[in-house]
Chain A
Amino acid sequence: MSLLELSGVDKIFGGLHAVRGVSFQVEKGKIFGLIGPNGAGKTTLFNVITGVYTPERGQILFEGNNIAGLKPALIAQRGVARTFQNIRIFRTMTVAENVMVAGHHLHKASIASAMLRTRGYERDERALAKRAHELLEILGLSELASEVAGSLPYGSQRRLEIARGLMLSPQLLLLDEPAAGMNSQEARTLNEQIRFLRDQLGLTVVLVEHNMAVVMNVCETIHVVDHGETIAQGTPSEIKSHPKVLAAYLGEEAPGSEPPG
């Protein structure tokens, strides 16, 4: 059984059919790429999967259960973590606090016990801090743990979003343009980190990305959308030479025209 399965998903904003009949399956333990030109509906698909939007039609099965239309917090609790294209970290909080926010499942102590600082509360708090520091270690951010998150450079903020998502102990990690704004060195490190998450933490990763060096390098399967519809799916080498994909990215060749030169 696949971990995530979309079937016939439609999302409509007024007159705009942002996503039309998109279906795909993501097998457990895979790194799955979702690409397409700007405005193709990739981020909308992420928002539909994570409950920010409710799809008009179609099913979204996560571990076999339909999660379409559930509240974002519930979907996150079930093990779907995400990052955001336009970074959404908690800017005034420290790096460690940002990560700890996502640790509700490690923090069973009630609000009353937090107010009274009971033993149970302090034990949970230590467990949370410890886990947060482990994750910051993985993403190479541990030295920045007590920095204010908003003061971090762009690439570090993106990695912080991943660390924060991992705090949910997710099964599925949705990365929305994780390499945006990174230089090629940072992008290479990111490739390694994504593989590490899959190999060492057993995560399934779905990736929206424009940086083809990243997509073609780490993804095992790539799904291409354009104007809200699926146009192709396959391995990186299949996608590279797929005529519809080339047309979507580079435009159709005018009939009868000869390549210059």
Chain B
Amino acid sequence: MRAVVRSAIALAVLLLLYGLQAGVQAGFTEYAQGIILLAGINIILAVGLNLINGTTGQFSIGHAGFMAVGAYAAAFVGVKLAAPIHGVLGTGSFADAVVFNVALLAGATFAGICGLIVGMPSLRLRGDYLAVVTLGFGEIIRILFNNATFLGSATGYSGDDPSGLPRYTNFFWVFAWVAVIVTLVHNLTFSQTGRSLTAIREDEIAAEAMATPSTRLKVIAFAFSAATAGIAGGLFAHMQAGVRPEDFRFEKSIDMIVMIIVGGLGSISGAILGGIFVAVSLELMRDLQQYRLVLYALLLIVIMIVRPEGLLGTRELHHLLRRKPAAKPAPPAEGA
């Protein structure tokens, strides 16, 4: 019964997205569609980063590095796997979908492995080590790609075809992945693991005294967060003709942090709103170029003064609508 209900919901979401996809393509300019896709990618980035910076209280300031790893891996795997998969499945849209999603999962895997490598040493310690290490990681990765000749060095990777990467990314796939990742992160956050992560944020010594394996949980959450950034990177790569190291500068990591601080650290719905906010505001401020960072800095200062907990604090939108207290209390046994 449960399985049937869930499949029905999943199918309904997919059909809805499929219908909207046609509507979006017909009703919006190419430019507006680009912003909508970026907003979706931002949502994935923000929701994933929020798991670490918000829920767990560890601070990553180099998430653009994981996005870059995901983007390059998804671009590379997408290009190299296209021929063999098309050989087996033909050249229809189904085969394209398979190539695309295999590429995205490859991006997530590579980014997740990088997350493990970065997280394992730095999350054993308490304090701001993670911030320093992720900052370094983001820069190192960008410089590595800048110098990797088989990935096009500074001009970026655009596959073997002169027309660039195949543009698989569309409304349907972006928001299907948004749905998947928001669901997974939501379920993780509101589970025993999520409670433990929050406990680590609140008081790591007490959490450990309550048998919480804090290092293990932090590393798992961090690797998962890195993997979601990898998915976002893959979607981003296949949205444009190629991926360039330039796309993943430090500013990109700052954009992500702005998303989750605006929305409220620790709130999934806040991260979603923050992701949309940054996508739209980036477009509005496009003429300002790098000066937008000044505006972001001012915005962050104003938020810190006026509303330090961000738009939603640690609350979720559906909790506000239900007029319940901030966190979700566990219901007693009956009726669940």
Contact = CB atoms under 8 A, between A and B. Distances in A.
B306 interface: no
Interface string B208-222: 111111100000100
A107 B327 contact: no
Interface centre among B188, B193, B326, B328 (most CB of A within 10 A): B193
Interface in A62-121: 71-73, 76-77, 81-82, 84, 88-94, 96-98, 100-105, 107, 109, 111, 114-117, 119, 121
B208 A92 contact: no
A94 B188 contact: no
B198 A90 contact: yes
A129 B331 contact: yes
Contacts of A100: 192, 195, 330
A145 interface: yes
A81 B209 CA distance: 7
A94 B210 contact: no
A209 to B, nearest CB: 19
B198 A82 contact: no
B208 A73 contact: yes
A125 B194 CA distance: 12
Contacts, number: 128
Given A90-B199, A93-B202, A100-B192, A122 B336 contact: yes
A11 interface: no
B313 to A, nearest CB: 9
Interface in B160-192: 184, 187-188, 191-192
A85 B101 CA distance: 53
A206 to B, nearest CB: 14
A142 B263 CA distance: 33
A126 B211 CA distance: 20
A140 to B, nearest CB: 17
A133 interface: yes
Contacts of B336: 122, 126
Given A77-B211, A102-B211, A93 B192 contact: no
Given A73-B213, A94-B329, A168-B211, A88 B203 contact: yes
A246 B17 CA distance: 78
Nearest to B211: A76
A242 interface: no
A22 interface: no
A50 to B, nearest CB: 6
Interface in A119-169: 119, 121-122, 124-126, 128-130, 132-133, 145-148, 164-165, 167-168
B332 A101 contact: no
A231 interface: no
A52 interface: yes
B192 A129 contact: no
A146 B326 CA distance: 10
B210 A102 contact: yes
Interface string B200-235: 001101111111111000001000000000000000
B332 A130 contact: yes
A90 B333 CA distance: 23
Contacts of B214: 73
Given A103-B192, A125-B192, A145 B329 contact: yes
A50 B207 CA distance: 13
Contact of B208 (A76, A94, A117, A165): A76
B325 interface: yes
A166 B285 CA distance: 55
B314 interface: yes
Given A101-B196, A114-B193, A115-B187, A88 B206 contact: yes
A213 B239 CA distance: 72
Contacts of B322: none
A221 B62 CA distance: 55
Contacts of A133: 332
B211 A148 contact: no
A111 B189 CA distance: 10
Given A73-B212, A101-B196, A126-B336, A93 B327 contact: yes
A90 B202 contact: yes
Contact of A148 (B184, B325, B331): B325
B201 to A, nearest CB: 8
B2 interface: yes
Contact of A97 (B205, B330, B333): B330
Contacts of B211: 73, 76-77, 102, 104-105, 168
Nearest to A146: B329
List the 10 shortest-distance A-B pairs measured between CB atoms, nearest first: A146-B329, A114-B191, A88-B206, A76-B211, A102-B210, A90-B202, A129-B330, A72-B208, A107-B192, A101-B199
21 contacts: A52-B205, A73-B208, A73-B214, A81-B210, A89-B202, A92-B326, A92-B327, A93-B198, A94-B325, A94-B328, A94-B329, A97-B195, A101-B210, A101-B212, A104-B192, A104-B196, A109-B192, A111-B191, A114-B191, A114-B194, A165-B210
Given A90-B202, A97-B198, A126-B333, 9 more contacts: A72-B209, A73-B209, A73-B213, A73-B214, A88-B209, A100-B192, A105-B211, A146-B325, A164-B210
